[in-house]
A and B are shown apart, each in its own frame.
Chain A
Amino acid sequence: DAKTTQPPSMDCAEGRAANLPCNHSTISGNEYVYWYRQIHSQGPQYIIHGLKNNETNEMASLIITEDRKSSTLILPHATLRDTAVYYCIVGADTGGFKTIFGAGTRLFVKA
């Protein structure tokens, strides 16, 4: 079973920030938080990951709470092409691990 909980769906207006929450209250000390998305039937696309500090890259920002029990993925200016299913996953720092995908959040970006 997935170790994360996400809302099943969210809406966002084009051009606005999309904030996608994830609960991972049972996360272990050596587990990272990873975010992927799957657009239509394409392969999952890696977005960002982090351990305990907030992270930012060209796609998104990841905010992890101090207790590491939850996190938020932020798409600063959502576009229609960001409509996808977003998966929050936790995984151990072991040099390779099987990724357990939950149901994810289906984000609809509307014009």
Chain B
Amino acid sequence: NAGVMQNPRHLVRRRGQEARLRCSPMKGHSHVYWYRQLPEEGLKFMVYLQKENIIDESGMPKERFSAEFPKEGPSILRIQQVVRGDSAAYFCASSPVGYSNQPQHFGDGTRLSIL
């Protein structure tokens, strides 16, 4: 999983606080994807972004969750007013622009724990 960097690796928050998860894609990649994995479950797509644009957010909860991928800097997944059910592993993936059929490459995730 070298190349896609996620931080922090572990994040602990109390209910009601905000969580910010960061993802730096592989060099040359301008597509970013966020997935959530609940304990003992599979990965669920959340959102797909290109630089400064959200392309598909069909898997993102309508409230409290937002994502951005600014022109400069990493992509950010933001969870406001966290609840216990937000405890999960959040994975980011990236792929290059302009190349169809290229696979996504994943980071090692951020483990979010809500107290």
Residues of A within 8 A of B (CB): 32, 34, 36, 38, 41-46, 49, 51, 87, 91, 93-104
Find chain A residues with CB under 8 A from B35 CB.
Answer: 99, 101
Q: Which residues of A contact B43 (CB under 8 A)?
A: 38, 44, 99, 101
Interface magnitude class on chain B: 20 to 34
Q: Are the C-beta atoms of B106 and A44 separated by less than 8 Å?
A: yes
- B48 touches A (CB below 8 Å): yes
Complex Cα gap A103–B37 (Å): 12
A49 touches B101 (CB 8 A): yes
A34, A45, A100, A103: the one contacting B1 at CB < 8 Å is: A45
Contact bitstring B36-58, A, C-beta under 8 A = 1, else 0: 00000011110010100001101
* Interface contact B50-A96, CB-CB below 8 Å: yes
Determine how close the nearest CB of chain B comes to the CB of A68; give it in whole angstroms: 14
- Give B71-97 as 1s and 0s: 1 = Cβ < 8 Å from A's Cβ atoms: 000000000000000000101010101
Which of B's residues lie within 8 Å of A, judged by CB?
1, 4, 31, 33, 35, 42-45, 48, 50, 55-56, 58-59, 89, 91, 93, 95, 97-101, 103-109, 111
Of all chain B residues, which has the CB nearest A98?
Answer: B45
| Nearest Cβ on chain B to A99's Cβ, whole angstroms | 6
| 13 extra interface residue pairs, beta carbon distance < 8 Å, beyond A98-B59, A99-B45 | A36-B106, A41-B89, A43-B93, A43-B109, A44-B93, A44-B106, A46-B105, A49-B101, A49-B103, A95-B31, A96-B31, A98-B58, A104-B42
Is the CB–CB distance between A98 and B100 below 8 Å?
A: no
A42 to chain B, nearest CB (A): 6
Neighbouring A residues of B103 by C-beta, 8 Å: 34, 36, 46, 49
Q: Which residue of B lies closest to A51 (CB)?
A: B101
Asked whether A95 and B99 contact (CB < 8 A) given A44-B43, A101-B44, the answer is yes
Given the known interface contacts A99-B45, A103-B42, A104-B42, the answer about A46 and B104 at a Cβ–Cβ threshold of 8 Å is: yes
Q: Taking CB as reference atom, which chain A residue is nearest B95?
A: A96
* B residues less than 8 Å from A36 (CB atoms): 103, 106
Q: Within the complex, what minimum Cβ distance (angstroms) separates A16 from chain B? A: 27
